């Protein structure tokens, strides 16, 4: 499988899952997975939501932030990975002055 993200249109999503501000992303989706290069912009967040049918893997490429998963806070910096397992709830917050840039992979199971 080869995915060319250069040919996928970037979209802006305000208030993702009732979060604040906006994020931008290029989304590849099929029935088994989603692969999403994501920018959570300054002063923005992805609101608390539950992963009923999938694992959500978020590898931090740049920026700083925090994830709150099942009530536990995790600090996000470049080179770290936040994983929200099936059945868990999480939010992701940009705490820095620059975009929080993630490569998000969602695996249905």
Q: What is the pLDDT of residue 25?
A: 98
Q: What is the pLDDT of residue 95?
A: 98
Q: What is the mean pLDDT of residues 10-15?
A: 97
- pTM of the full structure: 0.94
Q: What is the pLDDT of residue 99?
A: 98
The percentage of residues in the chain with a pLDDT greater than 70, rounded to a whole number, is 100
pLDDT digits (tens, 9 = 90+) for 29-80: 999 999 999 999 999 999 999 999 999 999 999 999 999 999 999 999 999 9
**Token pair 């049918």: residue:** 53
3-class state of residue 18 by DSSP: helix
3-class state of residue 27 by DSSP: coil
What average pLDDT does the structure give for the chain?
97
CA of 100: how far to CAs of 20, 41, 49, 79, 95, in Å? 14, 6, 19, 12, 8
Please report, for the chain, the start and end positions of each structural domain, with discontinuous segments joined by +.
10-108
Q: Tell me how far apart the alpha carbons of residues 70 and 72 are, in angstroms, rounded to a whole number.
A: 6
Q: What is the CATH number of domain 10-108?
A: 2.60.120.10
């Amino acid at each position: 499988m080869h995915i060319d993200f250069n040919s996928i249109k970037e979209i802006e999503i305000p208030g993702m899952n009732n979060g604040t501000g906006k994020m931008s992303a290029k989304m590849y989706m099929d029935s088994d997975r989603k692969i999403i290069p994501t920018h959570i912009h300054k002063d923005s967040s992805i609101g608390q939501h539950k992963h009923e049918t999938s694992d959500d893997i978020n590898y931090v490429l740049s920026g700083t932030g925090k994830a709150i998963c099942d009530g536990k806070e995790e600090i996000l910096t470049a080179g770290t990975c936040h994983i929200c397992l099936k059945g868990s709830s999480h939010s992701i917050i940009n705490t820095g002055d620059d975009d929080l840039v993630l490569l998000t992979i969602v695996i249905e199971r």
